[in-house]
Amino acid sequence: MTTRKLRFTKVAILVVIIMSIGIIACNTASKDKTLFTAVEAFPVPERLAGQTHVLELRAEPMDTVRIAIIGLGMRGQEIVYRLSYIEGTKIVALADVVPANVEEAQKTLKELGRSEAVGYTGAEDWKTICERNDIDLVYVCTHWDLHTPIAVYAMEKGKHAAIEVPAALTIDEAWQLVNTAEKTRRHMIMLENCNYDFFEMATLNMAQKGLFGEIVHAEGAYIHDLRWLLFDEEKGYWDMWRLKHNQKEDGCLYPTHGLGPVAHALNIHRGDKMDYLVSVSSNQFGLTEYAKEKFGEDSDYAKAEYKKGDMSSTIIKTSKGKTILIQHNTTNPRPYSRIHMLSGTKGFAQKWPRTGISLEPDGHRYLSDKALDSLLKVYEHPIITEVGGKAKQVGGHGGMDFIMDYRLIYCLQNGLPLDMDVYDAAEWSAIIELSRVSVENQGMPVQVPDFTRGAWRELKTVTYFKNE
């Protein structure tokens, strides 16, 4: 056989092999109707007979919102202070297993001219609080593991529930929140304060008014060096609970700060939904190295195993073909960042590491500082216009915490749907377990459950309601 014929024969064989692979792939795709099989499918349970969804739920209005605050650590103490500046609120009960925390909160109430609340210090006293008939809202600031149990019990006892992030740690807990809210018709809001930051609110307004065109891709993050706090036995997290989560779990353990604002800009479960995700993590380096340097190589902290990889990266695909990147890193020396990036067919906005916006017809360049300031004023969100000045005075992460509390109380007083609902809480928190499953399976896709059970098609946009 000549050299030319030999080459031709090899090429022909190669073409046949490629075509065969293509045919097999097409047949497989056509049988499965997807190009991938999720590693682990989390089934969507049937809604119980007689129940309906709670999208844009309205509850009876109330002149005064009577509140119990459970958990008075770092976040809880700040909440006592902020709520004391909101008219139409009454703090009825305070609870923490550390008696000194309850005493400190009582002191704050007294200094701000508020009446003393009933104090609780027992580990199970949150149940007694939820059973009281003089409380409308249970505000939960405990460690993560108690968020869902307290919220579920509060709703079952007829109370509205507001819980710090994340709302749930597992898919099962997320469904507990959804099913209980639908059964009881009580509000359940996860306190995602980052949705109310000034730039995030402005870009939400821009997105809703079409400034960016069709948003194609969004990014968010929680990049925050917490090593010193994770290992601080006196001033850190109670009973070292957050360090323990780093020891036993990998994945995106704290997704909601970055995800919340971009999810609203993308109208998640109001016309679109998260479809599936893939997630990968780096190995763990930061905690071990920090522990060796701070406590010595022979210390228990240095010898401990930490499962959480330093950098977690999760990519989410939506039903309408949008993508979202969420990153998580709390164990390396990096400047703080939540990224907050929106990229559309007509423009781009990003908060970190550089705050900037670019728009057609010169989308290749950032707007000048002067033009950016002008644009942000033009698109200042009406809620910021209304309460932004007071928010900066009262404080709380620059004022966004106060706006979050103000909006919660405003909506409850006026019988309006809350800005964030139980489906937000379930979806955003579900990333924790979904990412963990993907990481454990080398980044394979994992489907995101539809917590609205198809009702996401009934709405077209996120709405922050106001009385007309």
CATH code (residue 306): 3.30.360.10
Q: Are residues 230 and 289 in the same domain?
A: yes
Q: Are residues 235 and 127 in the same domain?
A: no
Q: Are residues 219 and 314 in the same domain?
A: yes
Q: Which helix (H) or strand (E) holds 317?
A: strand 312-318
Q: Are residues 128 and 234 in the same domain?
A: no
Q: Are residues 216 and 124 in the same domain?
A: no
Q: Are residues 153 and 205 in the same domain?
A: no
273 occurs within a structural domain? yes
Residue 468: per-residue pLDDT: 78
Chain segment 270-326, per-residue pLDDT in tens: 999 999 999 999 999 999 999 999 999 999 999 999 999 999 999 999 999 999 999
Number of structural domains in the chain:
2
Q: What is the mean pLDDT of the chain?
A: 93
Q: Which domain holds residue 310?
A: 194-381+421-458
Q: Are residues 180 and 225 in the same domain?
A: no
CB 419 within 8 A of CB 57: no
Q: Which residues contact 255 (CB under 8 A, 6 or more apart)?
A: 166, 222, 314, 326, 328, 428, 429, 431, 432, 435
Q: Which of 150, 174, 191 is the last residue of a domain?
A: 191
Q: Are residues 309 and 214 in the same domain?
A: yes
CB atoms near residue 276 (< 10 Å): 19
Q: Are residues 120 and 212 in the same domain?
A: no
134 occurs within a structural domain? yes
Residue 36: per-residue pLDDT: 53
CATH code (residue 169): 3.40.50.720
What tens-digit pLDDT sequence spans the chain (468 residues)? 544 444 444 444 444 444 444 444 444 444 444 455 666 679 999 998 999 999 999 999 999 999 999 999 999 999 999 999 999 999 999 999 999 999 999 999 999 999 999 999 999 999 999 999 999 999 999 999 999 999 999 999 999 999 999 999 999 999 999 999 999 999 999 999 999 999 999 999 999 999 999 999 999 999 999 999 999 999 999 999 999 999 999 999 999 999 999 999 999 999 999 999 999 999 999 999 999 999 999 999 999 999 999 999 999 999 999 999 999 999 999 999 999 999 999 999 999 999 999 999 999 999 999 999 999 999 999 999 999 999 999 999 999 999 999 999 999 999 999 999 999 999 999 999 999 999 999 999 999 999 999 999 999 999 999 997
Residue 41: per-residue pLDDT: 75
Q: Which of 191, 219, 247 is the last residue of a domain?
A: 191
184 occurs within a structural domain? yes
Q: Are residues 185 and 209 in the same domain?
A: no
Residue 448: helix, strand or coil by DSSP? Answer: coil
Across 220-234, b (16+ Cβ under 10 Å) vs e yields: bbbbbbbbeebbeee
Cα angle 22, 25, 27; round to 5 = 110
CB 220 within 8 A of CB 329: no
CA distance 272 to 292: 47
Q: Are residues 228 and 361 in the same domain?
A: yes
DSSP letters of 100-152? HHHHHHHHHHHHTTPPPPEEE--TTHHHHHHH-SS-SEEEE-S-GGGHHHHHH
CB atoms near residue 263 (< 10 Å): 28
Q: Are residues 155 and 232 in the same domain?
A: no
DSSP letters of 196-237? GSHHHHHHHHHHHTTTT-SEEEEEEEEE---HHHHT-TTTSS
